[in-house]
Structure 1
Amino acid sequence: MAGTLSALARRTFSTTIRKAAVSAAEGHAHDGGSKPWKMVSILVAFPAIGLCMANAFLTGEHEERPEFVEYEHLRLRTRRFPWGDGQKSLFHNSHANALPDGYEEDDH
């Protein structure tokens, strides 16, 4: 019985290696590997992106801007920024980000 199992294991192992060598030689070593990922992208990722976009546009409620309070420890400028007038950060939003002396524009 042990000899039969050993022969079966040896035969299975040798045929598996032979099939892998033949498929690699023919260039079919990884066939079918991209199909599941393509299906996941189409059936899961794209609808999820669409739902997130719909949520952002349909429920785009704007919060009121907080009142400006001039605290000493906030908005310190020891050096000027190397762009623009030197007071605005690189990703400055004039509605949401205050400058050291207050907001730029009035509420809409």
Structure 2
Amino acid sequence: MASVLGKVVSRAISTTRVASGQAAVSGHQDGWKLWRKLTFLVALPGVALCMLNVYLGLDDAEAHSAPPFVPYEYMRIRNKRFPWGDGQKSLFHNPHVNALPSGYEHTDEHH
């Protein structure tokens, strides 16, 4: 019984025709329509929403100030001086955000 079933399955597999010709190839010709729709209906509105989110969030970002400086002994440890400048500031030091071991450089609210 198993050999008969095996022969039927192998014959069905060997006689199956592979689709070829214009019907098999033409499926890729209309792909540009899908990508055009995705661009104009998904991507560009998504970029516009992100721009609106950033624009509306600018006031919130400017309202925040630096947290109060607390001189913890385990933070901002300087065992060696940096080889540039006065030796206390890192290479990409931002005086409005990064504190030195002695505290923030600028205490004013406006940048």
Q: Distance in 1 between matches of 2:92 and 2:46?
A: 28
The offset of 1:67, in angstroms, is: 1.0
The offset of 1:36, in angstroms, is: 2.6
Report the equivalent of 1:44. Answer: 42
SS at match of 1:78: coil
Q: CA RMSD in A?
A: 3.4
Bigger Cα displacement from structure 2, 91-100 vs 35-44: 35-44
Bigger Cα displacement from structure 2, 55-64 vs 36-45: 36-45
Q: Distance in 2 between matches of 1:39 and 1:83?
A: 53
1:88 and 2:86 aligned: no
Superposition TM-score, scaled by structure 2 size: 0.58
Q: Distance in 2 between matches of 1:74 and 1:41?
A: 48
Superposition TM-score, scaled by structure 1 size: 0.59
Q: Distance in 2 between matches of 1:33 and 1:79?
A: 60
CA offsets per residue over residues 53-104 of structure 1, 9 Å max, x none?
2222223212121111111011122344455544333443321221221112
Q: Distance in 2 between matches of 1:82 and 1:42?
A: 52
Aligned length: 94
Superposition map of 1:1-108 within 5 A = 10=15, 13-14=17-18, 16=19, 18-19=20-21, 23=25, 30-60=28-58, 61=60, 62-81=63-82, 84-108=85-109
The offset of 1:32, in angstroms, is: 3.9
Structure 2: tracts of 5 or more residues without a match: 1-7
Q: Distance in 1 between matches of 2:75 and 2:104?
A: 14
Q: Distance in 2 between matches of 1:52 and 1:85?
A: 40
Identity %: 46
Does the C-alpha gap of structure 1 residues 67 and 29 become closer, same or farther in structure 2, counting only changes over 3 Å? Answer: same
Structure 1: tracts of 5 or more residues without a match: none
